[in-house]
Chains A and B, each alone.
Chain A
Amino acid sequence: MRNFNALNLAREALRGHKGWGQQWRNPEPKKQYDIIIVGAGGHGLGTAYYLAKEHGLKNIAVLEKGWLGGGNTGRNTTIIRSNYLYDESAGLYDHAVKLWEGLTHELNYNVMFSQRGVMMLAHSVSDVQLAQRHIHANRLNGVDNEWLTPQQAKDFCPPINISKDSRYPVLGAALQRRGGVARHDAVAWGYARQASAMGVDIIQNCEVTGINRAPSGEVTGVETTKGTIGAKQVGVVAAGHTSVLMEMAGIQMPLESFPLQALVSEPVKPVFPCVVMSNAVHAYISQSDKGELVIGGGTDSYVSYSQTGSMHMLQETLDSIIELYPMFNRMKMLRTWGGVVDVTPDRSPIIGMTPVKGLYVNCGWGTGGFKATPGSANVFAHTIAKDEPHKINAGFTLDRFRNGRLIDEAAAAAVAH
């Protein structure tokens, strides 16, 4: 694997870039692996990477029914932040942010992590109370998050309309300066390239159609469109399709899969310097390096795997955008797309063991999985390698819905992701 650096780039420029090899191999699957990861998104590829890098386990296959990075990894609005309320959440997401901060160098791949700041607007007295609760909890957890007055919010992000005459006037904002955005594809590609170089087989266009178990119950491998592949351990990291896969092992999940749409505007010169989210006026927005305004909003209300959404959801999202940033009314929508997000009852992920020996699951990220990618992958790799959760994901168990020990960011905070 050739190192990605300016010198090699210059050298290659002189010879028409003929010397770059494949970023990852495209092998045929072997009959048997130690570990199979189902799903080659950022979380799955990252899991394989950390298993190889930190745990020395290299006989691994990552199976992907489509093309790597083609699920929610490549369909999200790339927002990264860690200003969550509960200790468990703050711990998990801040673990991720710390890894993000070194990821470009770790992977020798520019993932363009841009700490432009993520601002969450408050529009009512109860929004303000909630924001303060977050800010104080974050401070004592060592997570940066600060309160801005409306004018400070506008100074930080000039397009915001802070007029008191708005339908929902801005009463202030919580700002996490370490938050930001990254280049989503690069995360998947960067992990894939390094994992592949360490011997991980990434098998694309290979759909898992069954999970095989021994008579004694433990996992023995998977059935796929490329045949039977054996493994002692199987980690399912398949986002919206988790329920379908876990059903193959006889496990019913506390998940529902909803359509989530996002959209971009045509590119324009820099006009929006950070990420801004709002719950009451529900939408989130940032500007990409290309100049497109990247915009997201709420999910549709019904279960669907269609990867499309409704017109009225697009309208609701844009209504909110224009309410907050009236100057963008003449901008044009360039492209919309849809993903399938898997949502748990408490809106927090499940990362850990399952009732089936050798089967592990990482799911339920809802609309907010991208930001956790390195942290999630890192602790999931630990969980598989040690056959027990890392302390960071110890609370994110599947059985919390039985005992009631939820991590209810939704109930406590009604925070959009």
Chain B
Amino acid sequence: MLLINCPYCEDDRPELEFANAGEAHIHRPKDMADMSDEAFEAMFFIRDNPKGVILERWRHAHGCGRFFNAVRHTVSDKFLKTYMAGEPRPSDDEITELMK
């Protein structure tokens, strides 16, 4: 069972309180009507599925209820960082730093 730091509650809580919500930083455009089929496919179906660092969303479903983002390594399952929804995606340099 993972131990996840909720950036809103500022606390490590057991995975049972959370629900994974898939890939983070997927942009849902405001003008959906103009999207190509390819762009829609990319948004809705294509997923970053890295063997390494993943940027993903969790919801503290049985806690504060907030969605937030996490940087996690998919081989060790270690969380490198969690941050609030709306905060910018960590830069590659920051991720490299977190990996150390």
- List residues of A whose CB falls within 8 A of some B CB: 241, 243-244, 252-257, 301-306, 308, 310-312, 342, 345, 401-403
Contact = CB atoms under 8 A, between A and B. Distances in A.
B74 A305 contact: yes
Interface stretch (B50-58, B82-90, B91-99): B50-58
Contacts of A252: 42, 46-48
Interface residues of B, number: 27
Contacts, number: 69
A402 B44 CA distance: 10
A303 B37 contact: no
Contacts of A312: 1, 15-16
Contact of B1 (A253, A303, A304, A310): A310
Contacts of A303: 49-50, 54, 56, 74
Interface of B: 1-2, 15-16, 19-20, 22, 37-38, 40-42, 44-51, 54, 56, 72, 74-77
Contact of B50 (A244, A302, A310): A244
A219 B68 CA distance: 40
B16 A306 contact: no
Contacts of B1: 310-312
A302 B56 contact: yes
28 contacts: A241-B51, A243-B47, A243-B51, A253-B47, A254-B41, A254-B46, A256-B47, A256-B49, A257-B49, A257-B51, A257-B74, A301-B20, A302-B20, A302-B77, A304-B75, A305-B51, A305-B75, A306-B74, A306-B75, A310-B1, A310-B15, A311-B1, A312-B1, A312-B16, A401-B41, A401-B46, A402-B38, A402-B40
A28 B34 CA distance: 53
Name A's interface SS: loop
Contact of A255 (B37, B49, B56, B72): B49
B82 to A, nearest CB: 13
Contacts of B49: 243-244, 253, 255-257, 303, 342
Contact of B45 (A241, A304, A306, A345): A345
B74 A401 contact: no
A347 B56 CA distance: 21
A304 B20 contact: no
A352 to B, nearest CB: 16
A334 B19 CA distance: 30
